[in-house]
Amino acid sequence: MPENPLRLLMNPRSIAVVGASNDFRKMGTIQALSILQDGYSGDVFFIHRKEKTVLGRPAFPAAADLPKAPDLAVLIVPSSSIAGLLADFGAIGTKRAIIITAGFKETGSAGRSMEEKIKSVASRHGIRFVGPNCLGIINSENSLNTTVAPFTTGPGRLGFASQSGTYVTQALPYLRKNGIRYSKAISLGNEADIDLVDALEYLGEDEQTRAVILYIEGIRDGRRFVEVARRITPRKPVVAQYVGGSASGARAGASHTGAMSGPDFLYDGIFKQAGILRVPTIEDLYAHGWTLATQPPLRGRRVGVVTNSGGPGTGIAYMCDHEGLEVPRFSESLQRDIRPLIEAHASAANPVDLTFDLGMRKLAVTLPEMIMKSGEVDALILHGIMHSGFMVEIFEHLRDYLQGVSYEAFLKGTRSVKEDAFQLPGKYPFPFLISSFFDDTDDCTRGYLDAGVPVFRSPENAARALGSLHRCRLIRERVLSNAPPLSQAQPAALEILGRAKAEGRGALDECEAKQVLAAYGVPVTREVKAVTCDDAVEAAKQIRYPVAVKACSWEILHKSGRGLIALNLKKEAQVQEAFDGIQKAAGKPTPVLVQEMVFGSREFLVGMTRFPGFAPCVVFGLGGVWTEIHRDMTLRQSPLSDSDAAEMLADLRSSRLLGEYRGMPEVKRGALAGILQAVGTIALLHPEIAEIDINPVMIRGDEPVAADALIGLKAED
């Protein structure tokens, strides 16, 4: 495997900055100060055509005048200058660049042409670059910060790849207040060269990084994204926020970085296939990522809750249930040990509720340690540990009664928790989370944050973060299989598709569609295509009543509600009447499909659709008339492994319908999974197919069968 291009870019021995000056209002100057002031120890050179010195250091008029070729060039100049500068640096041997400058493909066709030009120049000189239209990178391991904001928190464990520069750098004060520290952070911008998958792969290999977070507006290479992520997620958590799934989100992303977005359910399926946790907000992205980066893996579902108030404890318990965790009632022996430490009216059962008790040591150390030693929990959430934040609140009421005692003296005379409270989480191999309504100005909150213990501003948020640890455990434990080798294209399918293409058709008729499906092992209904009424009657006799009669033309793709389909016909006269009715509804002579009538109370949908940048995607969901109403569906990128198909069956909210249900037998899941895999195979073998829609897949007894099918073809270029 070739070395990741980010390895050198994130660890340069020397840097040249083009665009910095002595004007502190300029972006280039601000970014240069971050490099100089935040501890980077390598050589830093400045290029400026007019100034002799920049920020107290010698400035050179051009790349050719530098004393040596820098490993990294940081370019913060007008877009029209970028191509020439890349050529200049390439001529002296520089191999990495960060292009901060905007004004490329995100602005339209002219910008797109300029971006193609810089890609060509960089490729010719062997330069790999991040950007354009980005805000740079942070590497806490070597104190390198090329962004606009100071990075002062020191080394961390959380790796970040972002298609927004703001979330890498302008969020740094917010992260500092919440005790969150990057290992590495990469603003990707337009991804003209180094892209999101390169960054994910780099962070997945990075030993300092314990968890990875991704801010995504669009993925350009879905197949590689899933391949790389599936190598990483069994051993290192990856969390993503995707914002391109709505119309306005997609529009904003396109104007921001030129990102190529797709619908939400596409990314939901891709993330599940990749083993990536999806979160809805940037706050969750940071907080859940930091939790996964700092906490030991969750070994089970049992959560202990200790609180100084009933409401927060109940909120945590409720949210734990919602997240698939459990808050079990403690054993009688553990409750006996707890009761002497709490008020008589307080609960020892779990949650343990001290009620209002300012004896913080019991809440912070004594009870948590007792519970962790018991073996009855796999994780712990504490709510209500506080000191200086609360004392400053009540001091205003007490001031008049304290006869001139200062707040500092008052605070010194009250008891806070000792340092061992902040060290306690590291003594046991359990996730240990804190909920507090007091921010980092409270000395207890600050103590936990400095110790790398996540502190959440609400009880429910702490429980939701623990839910991410639970889902990460399920991802670690899932057994993945490889997709089977791609089979050969079937002659029958090639003949049908070739004929349709030669005729310039946009789709197959239903009979042809089912023949293609059957060629790859999809179970379909017994049926005969008929042109005349007599043929239809004879076909019904062969198939045996009851039958269904449908219009069968590639130009008629949707038949329901238009008089083009008749069901459960039991007599010859009904077939004749149906044939005549279909001809009238179609408005011209139209063949019909006479098919066996399939009965079953459970209907599903299997389909295939294509999205730019992704392999063909297989869709599975609730079918029949319920498809549009419930919109209960899931998706995976083909080819599908056995484990992919099995996970799709389990994804549906209505997955209980696959089991024994109201006297109906359990569905043969292997057969249904085989249909999903076959549809993915067909899409890979026949790129001329634009879409496949099998709706419904009827469950006859316990066997799935394709009762209706549509195959649309790609238009000629």
Asked if the structure places residue 278 within a domain, the reply is yes
CA torsion sign, 87 to 90 to 92 to 96?
A: positive
The last residue of one of the domains, among 597, 620, 646, is 597
Model pLDDT, residue 557: 81
Is residue 241 domain-shared with residue 325, that is, in the same domain? no
pLDDT digits (tens, 9 = 90+) for 100-127: 999 898 888 999 999 999 999 999 999 9
pLDDT at 246: 55
Q: At 715, which CATH number? A: 3.30.470.20
**What average pLDDT score do residues 8-37 get?**
96
Q: Give kind and range of the element (H or E) at residue 393.
A: helix 388-398
**Structural domain tally of the chain?**
4
Residue 397 has pLDDT above 70, yes or no: yes
Percentage of the chain surpassing pLDDT 70?
A: 97
CATH value at residue 568: 3.30.1490.20
Number of helices and strands in the chain (H, E): 27, 29
How large is the C-alpha radius of gyration of the chain?
A: 32
Task: Please check the confidence at residue 247 and state whether its pLDDT lies above 60.
Answer: no
Question: Which helix (H) or strand (E) segment is 256 a member of?
Answer: helix 247-257
633 and 502 together in one domain: yes
Rounded CA separation 514/493 (Å): 10
Residues 208 and 286 in one domain: yes
In degrees and rounded to multiples of 5, residue 128 shows phi and psi of -105, 135
pTM of the entire predicted model: 0.93
Residue 222 CB partners (closer than 8 Å, separation 6+): 270, 611, 613, 614, 615, 637
| Same domain? 124 vs 24 | yes
Do 83 and 175 sit in the same domain of this protein? yes
Cis bond before residue 280 (omega within 30° of 0): no
515 within some domain: yes
3-state SS assignment for residue 487 = coil
In a domain, 451, yes or no: yes
331 shares a domain with 216: no
pLDDT in tens, 527-583: 999 999 999 999 999 999 999 999 999 998 877 768 899 999 999 999 999 999 999
Three-state SS for 593-659 is EEEECCCCCCEEEEEEECCCCCCCEEEEEECHHHHHHHCCEEEEECCCCHHHHHHHHHHCCCHHHHC
Predicted pLDDT at 253: 41
Which residues neighbour 162 within 8 Å (Cβ) at sequence distance 6 or greater? 168, 185, 186, 187, 188, 214, 215
The alpha carbon torsion through 140, 142, 143, 147 (nearest 10 deg) reads -80
Residues 582, 659 within the same domain: no
Separation between Cα atoms, residue 542 and residue 529, nearest integer Å: 12
Whether residue 632 sits in one domain with residue 565: no
Q: Do residues 325 and 265 both lie within one domain?
A: no
Encode pLDDT of 51-101 as tens digits.
999 999 999 999 999 999 999 999 999 999 999 999 999 999 999 999 999
**Whether residue 463 is found in the same domain as residue 533:** no
The reported pLDDT for the residue numbered 334 is 98
> Measured between alpha carbons, how far is residue 406 from residues 181, 401, 705 in Å?
35, 12, 81
Token pair recorded at residue 343: 């008020």
The 10 Å CB-count burial string (b at 16+, else e) for 610-622 is ebebbbbbbbbbb
Q: Does 553 share its domain with 613?
A: no
Is 1 domain-assigned? no
Last residue of a domain, one of 553, 573, 597: 597
Any domain includes 464 = yes
Mean residue pLDDT of the chain comes to 93
Residue 263 domain-assigned? yes
Mean pLDDT along residues 211-215? 98
Q: Quick one: which of 693, 509, 498 has its CA closest to 591?
A: 509
Given a cut of 50, whether residue 258 has pLDDT beyond it is no
Residues 343 and 468 in one domain: yes
Domain boundary among 293, 327, 345: 293
Q: Which residue has the higher pLDDT, 626 or 507?
A: 507
Per-residue pLDDT tens digits for 467-506: 999 999 999 999 999 999 999 999 999 999 999 999 999 9
pLDDT digits (tens, 9 = 90+) for 622-639: 997 777 777 899 999 999
340: CATH: 3.40.50.261
- The full length of the chain comes to 717
The 10s digit of each residue's pLDDT in 341-388 is: 998 888 999 999 988 766 789 999 999 999 999 999 999 999 999 988
pLDDT band at 252 (very low <50, low <70, confident <90, very high): very low
Higher pLDDT, 256 or 610: 610
Range of the domain at 358: 298-477
Query: Do the beta carbons of residue 178 and residue 439 sit within 8 Å?
Result: no
